[in-house]
């Protein structure tokens, strides 16, 4: 009975150590809001592609993002909910994760619509949310993420 208990504790500790290592690996990744591009527009909504670059700085271990949930704001106005799932980043590489968003026109203010239509350089994009990685026994462990991109680079 003691051997079984010792084996269970050992397996639990190894799983916990792997989870801590994976959490540290994800925490050490660099996150950048690469772009927010208008892809479609109509009378009731506008479509956007949001690209988030995730760079795994670890030279030996891959990083796996189980899920990301966050909110995109443009010039401090909430625009849309962003969700990403199952992203695997190889060691010492960058993965561009893309999310497609449909944003209702009722979300936009007149000023923001004018800036978007003129392709203005004064748009500030910001993405705040929580990423989740898989811990022991399939439990999702949350980590906060806060990335921004100021101006559209023109």
Residues 6+ apart with CB under 8 A from 111: 75
Q: pLDDT 10s per residue in the chain (154 long)?
A: 555 544 444 444 444 444 556 656 666 888 888 887 888 888 888 888 888 898 999 888 888 888 889 998 877 778 889 899 988 889 899 999 999 988 888 777 665 666 566 665 566 778 888 888 777 667 788 888 888 765 444 4
Tell me, what's the pLDDT at 103? 85
Domains of the chain: 2-150 (2.60.40.1820)
| Whole-prediction pTM | 0.69
Q: H/E/C letters for each residue in 7-58?
A: HHHHHHHHHHHHHHHHHHHHHCCEEEEEEEEEEEECCCEEEEEEEEEEEECC
CA dihedral 144, 82, 50, 128 (to 10 degrees): -30
pLDDT of residue 142: 86
């Amino acid at each position: 009975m003691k051997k079984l208990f010792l084996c269970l504790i050992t397996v639990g500790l190894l799983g916990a150590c792997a989870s801590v290592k994976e959490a540290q690996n994800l925490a050490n990744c660099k996150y950048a809001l690469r772009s927010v591009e208008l892809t479609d527009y109509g009378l009731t909504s506008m479509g956007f592609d949001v690209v988030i670059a995730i760079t795994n700085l670890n030279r030996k271990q891959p990083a796996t993002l189980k899920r990301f949930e966050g909110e995109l704001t443009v010039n401090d106005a909430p625009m849309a909910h962003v969700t990403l799932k199952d992203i695997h980043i190889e060691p010492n590489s960058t993965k561009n994760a893309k999310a497609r968003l449909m944003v209702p026109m009722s979300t936009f203010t007149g000023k923001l619509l004018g800036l978007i239509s003129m392709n203005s350089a004064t748009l500030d994009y910001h993405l705040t949310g929580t990423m989740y990685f898989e811990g022991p026994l399939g439990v999702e462990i949350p980590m906060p993420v806060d990335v921004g991109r100021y101006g559209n680079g023109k």
